[in-house]
C-alpha cells in the first residue's frame, strides 16, 4: 500500500469517527448530567507491552484513581488500545488522564473495574497528543471524559477504543 492510500485511509477513518463521536458524546453527557465528577484516573503504559497490528493495537497499563472526596488511592491494572480502526503508532511511552463521572460510587470499593468503550484519535512526531471518550465500567455507570494523552514516538491512530480495568491490590 503506498503512502497516499494510507493517508486517505487515515483521513476517511478519522472522518467516520468524527461522525460517530457525537452519538458517543451524547451518551457520555447523559451519564455525567445525572452524576458528578467523582475523581481523576491517571494511567501509564507499561514499558514494552505495546502490540500494534495496524487495525488493532493493545498495551498494558497501570492506573491510579484519586477521588475528589479525598481518601485512599485505588490502583488498577489493565489493557487499552484500538479495537477497530487504524493504528500506525510506534509509541515508546503513553500517559492518559480521565475525568471520572458517575451518579453513585462507593469510595474504596474498586467500582471502576470493568470494560469501557468509545473512540480515540492521536498523532505523534517525537512528542504526541491524543484524546479518548469512554463509557462503561460497573453496570455501564461511569463516563471517562475527556481523556487527554501525551506520548513519545511517531505515528497516527483513530478508531474504536477500549479500556479494561481490574484492581491492582
Q: What is the mean pLDDT of residues 114-140?
A: 85
Query: Residue 42 is part of which domain span?
Result: 3-167
Task: Specify the pLDDT at position 98.
Answer: 92
Q: Write down the pTM of the prediction.
A: 0.74
So what's the pLDDT on residue 132?
A: 86
What is the percentage of the chain residues whose pLDDT exceeds 90?
A: 33
In this structure, are residues 165 and 53 in contact, taking their beta carbons and an 8 Å threshold?
no
| Beta pairing class for 36-45 and 57-67 | antiparallel
- Residue 105 banded pLDDT, cuts 50, 70, 90: low
pLDDT tier at 117, thresholds 50, 70, 90 = very high
| Confidence band, pLDDT 50/70/90 cuts, at residue 13 | very low
Confidence class for position 85, pLDDT limits 50, 70, 90: very high
For 110, left (φ over 0), alpha (ψ -120 to 50), or beta?
Answer: left
Report the candidate in 166, 37, 57 with the shortest Cα–Cα distance to residue 97.
Answer: 37
> What pLDDT band is residue 97 in, cutting at 50, 70 and 90?
very high
Do the Cβ atoms of 79 and 62 come closer than 8 Å?
no
Q: Looking at the 3D structure of the chain, how many domains does it have? A: 1
SS3 readout for 27-63: HHHHHHHHCEEEEEEEEEECCCCCEECECCEEEEEEE
Amino acid at each position: 500500500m503506498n503512502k497516499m492510500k494510507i493517508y486517505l485511509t487515515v483521513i476517511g477513518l478519522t472522518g467516520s469517527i468524527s461522525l460517530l463521536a457525537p452519538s458517543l458524546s451524547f451518551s457520555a453527557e447523559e451519564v455525567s448530567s445525572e452524576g458528578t465528577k467523582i475523581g481523576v484516573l491517571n494511567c501509564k503504559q507499561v514499558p514494552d507491552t505495546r502490540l500494534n497490528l495496524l487495525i488493532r493495537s493493545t498495551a498494558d497499563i497501570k492506573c491510579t484513581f484519586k477521588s475528589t472526596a479525598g481518601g485512599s488511592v485505588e490502583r488498577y491494572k489493565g489493557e487499552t488500545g484500538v479495537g477497530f480502526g487504524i493504528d500506525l503508532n510506534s509509541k515508546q511511552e503513553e500517559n492518559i488522564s480521565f475525568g471520572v463521572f458517575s451518579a453513585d460510587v462507593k469510595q474504596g470499593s474498586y467500582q471502576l473495574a470493568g470494560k469501557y468503550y468509545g473512540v480515540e484519535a492521536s498523532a505523534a512526531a517525537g512528542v504526541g497528543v491524543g484524546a479518548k471518550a469512554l463509557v462503561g465500567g460497573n453496570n455501564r455507570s461511569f463516563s471517562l471524559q475527556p481523556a487527554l494523552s501525551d506520548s513519545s514516538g511517531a505515528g497516527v491512530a483513530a478508531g474504536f477504543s477500549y479500556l479494561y480495568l481490574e484492581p491492582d491490590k
